[in-house]
Structures are given as C-alpha cells and as structure tokens.
Amino acid sequence: MQRMVFFVVALFIAMSLSTVHADQKQQRQEVLRYLKSGQEPQVKDAMWATDFLLKIGVFDNGSQRDGFADYVCLVLAEHGMSGQSIRIEIIDYGSVVRGENWKVLGGAECK
C-alpha cells in the first residue's frame, strides 16, 4: 500500500512539473514571437541560449544597452515570466553575422 501511495505522489509531482515546464516553454516562445514581430525595431534576432539566458541581437550604435536589457525584463514580466532569475544579454548582431565572437553590448538580471 505504501508503494502505491508513493507511486501516485511521484506521478502527481512529475505531471505537475511537466505542466509547469510546458507553460514556461510556451511563455518563452511568446516572448520570442513578440521580440521578432517588428514591434521592437532594434531587435534583429533573439534566442533562448538556455532556459534562463535570453540573447537578443541588435546593431551596435556605440551606446550601452543595459537599459534595453532592463526593458526586456519588463517584457518578460508582461508575459508572466517574473521571478524566474533570467539573464538578458544584448549582443552585437553585426558581429554574429560576420562570424566573429559575440560582443555583449549590455545585460540585465531579471528577478
């Protein structure tokens, strides 16, 4: 009987975690869709490098991009992703296109 209760509890936990992960995956996809939609004209590309690292490509205009990274944290919050400790890195899209090392122009830690 104890084994059965343990199995049911373990199955419930696994299903709950699977649902949470699926929701987070959908939220990440929605954020990418928004960033790539043209509503943020400076964004040339964006990708989730990991579940907790969002890289956003913009052209380098010589300015620091920490403020834009902070703004992206607000975008994440609007998409239900606050409180997940996500790192935003704004990278030089031109360096990526040229095949050079990625140059980080700014960043933020979203809490």
* pLDDT, greater one: 39 or 17: 39
Residue 9 sits at φ, ψ, to 5 deg, of -65, -45
| DSSP letter assigned to residue 62 | S
Angle of helix 66-78 relative to helix 2-35, nearest 10 degrees?
A: 130
CA–CA dist 7, 90 (Å, integer): 45
* Torsion angle, alpha carbons of 24, 30, 33, 39, to 10: -130
Note the pTM of the prediction, 2 decimals.
0.79
Q: Pick the closest to residue 48 from 66, 31, 73 (CA basis).
A: 31
Average pLDDT over every residue of 59-68: 96
> Residues 70-95: what's their mean pLDDT?
94
Does an H or E element contain 28, and which? Answer: helix 2-35
Coil, strand or helix: which one is 90? strand
pLDDT for 39 beyond 80: yes
pLDDT of residue 20: 44
Residue 87 binned pLDDT confidence (cut-offs 50, 70, 90): very high
